[in-house]
C-alpha cells in the first residue's frame, strides 16, 4: 500500500503512537530532502536532523539509508491486514478490504503532496524504484494472505522461510485477484482525485471506485 502517514493513530498506546509519529517524521524528511537535492546526496545525518532526532534513532527504525525511501508506510500494510481480519463477519471480502483500506487512507487528502514527491524521488533513482516495486509486491502478497485467512482459502500460513514467490504460489486465485484489484483501486483513486481535487473529496472517489467493483464494473451510461 505504501501509504505515507502515521495511519490509525487513534489506536494503540501512547508509545506506539509516538513510534509511528517518529517514523512518519523520518520518512517525510527523507522524501522532502531527496526531492530537493536528489536521493544520492541525502545522508542519514541530514534526515535525522530534519526530523529532529538522533542518527541512533534513525537506525532504530531503518536498517539502511535506502530503506527510508523504499519502506515508506511499511506499517500501514500490517494495519490493513489486522483491520481486515477483525472486520465483521457479515461483510463480503471486498467490503472488508474496502473498509480496512479506507481507515488507513483517512489522511489521504493531507498526504497527496508527499506521495507526489515520493514518486518523483523513486523515478529519479532507478535502484530505489526497483526495491520499492519489490516491497509493493510483498505488501500485496501479505494482503492476499490476509484475505485467504479470512475466507479460509488455501493451505494456510506459508513456511517461515518461504520466498515471496513461494508465498504467492501457495495462494488460491481469489485472494490474489482481490488483493491485486484492491491495490490497483487505491492507486486509481489517488491518481484520479489528485487530478480533480477541486471537484470531489477523496473519500467520495474511493467509495465510488469500490462501488463500481462491487457492481461488477457495469458499463457507464451512454
155-179 pLDDT, tens per residue?
666 666 788 788 888 899 999 999 9
Region of 169 please: left (phi>0), alpha (psi -120 to 50) or beta: alpha
pLDDT of residue 89: 92
Is 209 within the bounds of a domain? yes
Q: How many domains does the chain have?
A: 1
Q: How far apart are CA 51 and CA 74, in angstroms?
A: 18
Is 110 within the bounds of a domain? yes
pLDDT of residue 166: 85
Average pLDDT of span 66-86? 86
**Residue pointed to by grid coordinates 501512547:** 14
Is 7 within the bounds of a domain? no
Is 142 within the bounds of a domain? yes
Q: How far apart are CA 31 and CA 33, in angstroms?
A: 6
Is 138 within the bounds of a domain? yes
Q: How far apart are CA 70 and CA 9, in angstroms?
A: 22
Residue 180: CATH number of its domain = 1.10.357.10
pLDDT of residue 9: 44
pLDDT at 11 over 60: no
User: SS3 of 122, please?
Assistant: helix
pLDDT of residue 141: 93
Is 128 within the bounds of a domain? yes
* Range(s) of the domain holding residue 101: 14-214
How do residues 36-49 score in pLDDT, each as one tens digit? 999 999 999 999 99
- Which pTM was predicted? 0.80
Residues in the chain: 222
Average pLDDT of span 127-137? 89
pLDDT at 3 over 60: no
**Range scoring the smallest mean pLDDT among 31-40, 72-81, 88-97, 213-222:** 72-81
Confidence of residue 4 (pLDDT cuts 50, 70, 90): low
Is 55 within the bounds of a domain? yes
Grid cell of 38 as nine digits: 536528489
pLDDT at 214 over 50: yes
Grid cell of 63 as nine digits: 536498517
Amino acid at each position: 500500500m505504501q501509504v505515507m502517514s502515521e495511519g490509525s493513530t487513534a489506536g494503540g498506546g501512547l508509545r506506539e503512537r509516538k513510534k509511528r509519529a517518529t517514523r512518519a517524521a523520518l520518512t517525510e524528511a527523507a522524501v522532502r530532502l531527496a526531492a530537493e537535492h536528489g536521493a544520492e546526496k541525502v545522508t542519514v545525518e541530514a534526515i535525522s536532523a530534519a526530523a529532529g532526532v538522533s542518527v541512533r534513532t534513525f537506525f532504530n527504525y531503518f536498517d539502511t539509508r535506502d530503506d527510508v525511501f523504499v519502506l515508506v508506510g511499511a506499517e500501514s500494510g500490517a494495519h490493513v491486514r489486522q483491520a481486515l481480519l477483525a472486520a465483521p463477519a457479515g461483510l463480503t471480502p471486498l467490503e472488508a478490504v474496502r473498509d480496512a483500506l479506507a481507515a488507513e487512507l483517512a489522511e489521504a487528502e493531507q498526504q497527496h503532496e508527499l506521495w507526489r514527491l515520493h514518486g518523483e524521488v523513486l523515478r529519479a533513482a532507478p535502484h530505489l524504484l526497483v526495491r520499492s516495486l519489490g516491497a509493493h509486491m510483498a505488501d500485496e502478497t501479505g494482503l492476499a494472505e490476509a484475505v485467504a485467512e479470512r475466507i479460509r482459502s488455501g493451505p494456510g500460513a506459508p513456511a517461515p522461510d518461504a520466498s515471496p514467490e513461494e508465498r504467492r504460489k501457495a495462494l488460491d486465485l481469489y485472494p490474489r485477484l482481490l488483493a491485486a484489484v484492491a491495490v490497483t483501486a487505491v492507486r486509481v483513486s489517488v491518481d484520479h482525485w489528485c487530478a480533480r481535487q477541486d471537484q470531489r473529496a477523496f473519500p467520495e472517489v474511493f467509495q465510488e471506485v469500490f462501488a463500481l467493483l462491487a457492481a461488477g464494473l457495469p458499463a457507464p451510461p451512454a
